[in-house]
């Protein structure tokens, strides 16, 4: 827990809220988790602390992909994890940003990639990022990604993650039927709506 305390201190948070505490207690690498909680309730901190448990320091491959529906959210997640000072390399990728610049920032392979679905897929197609060792996929504000029509991009990204073991979905609205590409494996559902 000392790591968490340190990371939280860097964010200026003295203790986790009830939802974050439950997520950390219930999250087990290898098991899928669906989190329903309102916007602004601290979901980002909850899933970032969870994915930190899955990272291995003895590999220089991408291990986690975090997909956000819009650039602003991707940047916000990136800002939070950088403030946490986890010691893990992170790259944030999104449209409207020069591909050349992003390629340079990816020359040293990050452990975590945060980005929008279209840009992540574009970088995979261009072979700028190699996702074959990714074991954890986070779909943040998953409801919005579906609303904005990103299902096919997310589906293709998920299909390419052959070593995927863990999926974390967050949403501010209840989803009745999950798209089949997710292949959710008896997910633990935490509902704070």
N-term to C-term CA, the chain: 27
pLDDT at 1: 46
Tokens of 61: 């491959």
Per-residue pLDDT of the chain (193 residues; tens, 9 = 90+): 456 788 889 999 989 999 999 999 999 999 999 999 998 899 999 999 999 999 998 889 999 999 999 999 999 999 999 999 999 999 999 998 888 888 888 999 999 999 999 999 999 999 999 999 999 999 999 999 999 999 999 999 999 999 999 999 999 999 888 889 999 988 999 999 9
The predicted structure's pLDDT at residue 2: 52
State residue 177's pLDDT score: 85
- Tell me what pLDDT residue 150 has: 96
Question: Which of 84, 68, 92 lies closest to 142, judged by CA?
Answer: 68
**pLDDT at site 171:** 96
Cα gap 3→9, rounded to integer Å: 10
CA angle 83, 110, 17 (to 5 degrees): 35
pLDDT, residue 96, reads: 87
Q: For 163-187, write each residue's pLDDT tens digit.
A: 999 999 999 999 888 889 999 988 9
CB 139 within 8 A of CB 169: yes
CA nearest 121: which of 144, 100, 143, 94?
94
Q: What is the pLDDT of residue 3?
A: 62
| pLDDT of the residue at 97 | 82
The answer to whether the CB of 50 falls within 8 A of the CB of 138 is no
pLDDT at 132: 94
């Amino acid at each position: 827990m000392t790591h968490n305390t340190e990371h939280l201190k860097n964010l200026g948070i003295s203790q986790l809220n009830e939802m974050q505490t439950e997520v950390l207690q219930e999250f087990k690498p290898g098991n899928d988790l669906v989190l329903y909680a309102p916007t602004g309730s601290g979901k980002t901190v909850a899933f970032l602390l969870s994915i930190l448990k899955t990272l291995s320091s003895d590999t220089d491959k991408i291990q986690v992909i975090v997909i956000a529906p819009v650039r602003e959210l991707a940047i916000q997640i990136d800002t939070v994890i950088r403030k946490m000072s986890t010691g893990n390399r992170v790259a944030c990728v999104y449209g409207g940003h020069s591909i050349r610049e992003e390629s340079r920032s990816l020359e040293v392979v990050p452990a975590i990639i945060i980005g929008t679905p279209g840009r992540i897929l574009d970088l995979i197609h261009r072979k700028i990022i190699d996702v074959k060792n990714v074991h954890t996929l986070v779909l943040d504000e998953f409801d919005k990604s579906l609303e904005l029509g990103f299902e096919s991009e997310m589906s293709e990204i998920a299909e390419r993650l052959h070593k995927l073991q863990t999926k974390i979905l967050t949403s501010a609205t209840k989803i009745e039927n999950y798209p089949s590409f997710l292949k959710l494996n008896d997910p633990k559902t935490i509902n704070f709506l």
